[in-house]
Amino acid sequence: MKVVIQRVTKASVTIDGNKVANINNGLLILLGIVNEDTQEDINWLSRKIVGLRIFNDEAGVMNTSILNTKGDVIVVSQFTLHASTKKGNRPSYIKAAKPDVAIPLYKNFIQQIEHDLGKKVQTGEFGADMKVELLNDGPVTIIIDSKNKE
């Protein structure tokens, strides 16, 4: 499981002209899932994300987590995070999990983030053509792969 985490001052997701998610200060999380991912990956990633000290404290130092800032979160599924660009110029998405595997893991990830964060998170829609808009704060962008946790 791979995530791209972006600290944002605002972010939104629009599908077919309808804004389905909209936050101010918080995190935009892009989530990529592979067939080998499990609940263990979800649990580890969620704890890691919620505990990441990437928000500024009173001294302007990145020393505060999303829990402390009480910021909001949007989670967006993004299979292209597992693109392989080894051969040719057209990315291969063979590693990305198919919907029958990915959708339950995506839903479980959202539930786990909500549990660890202690509040509801907003989401895109799995498999939809989404327009994601954000204002990256910092910019702060962190990439985490659950397969590289040791």
Which CATH number applies to 2-148? 3.50.80.10
SS3 state of residue 142: strand
Please state the φ and ψ torsions of residue 145, each to the nearest 5 degrees.
-115, 120
Asked if 78 is an active-site residue, the reply is yes
* pLDDT for residue 150 is more than 80: no
| Residue of 38, 39, 55, 79 marked active site | 79
Q: How sure is the predictor about 149, in pLDDT bands with cuts at 50, 70 and 90? A: confident
Q: What is the mean pLDDT of residues 98-113?
A: 97
| Residue of 78, 112, 122, 123 marked active site | 78
b vs e for 14-47, b when ≥16 Cβ sit within 10 Å of the residue's Cβ? beeeeebbebebbbbbbbbbbeebeeebbbbbbe
Domain boundary assignment for the chain: 2-148
pLDDT, one tens digit per residue, over 84-96 is: 999 989 999 999 9
* pLDDT for residue 138 is more than 90: yes
| Residue of 38, 80, 111, 141 marked active site | 80
* pLDDT for residue 6 is more than 90: yes
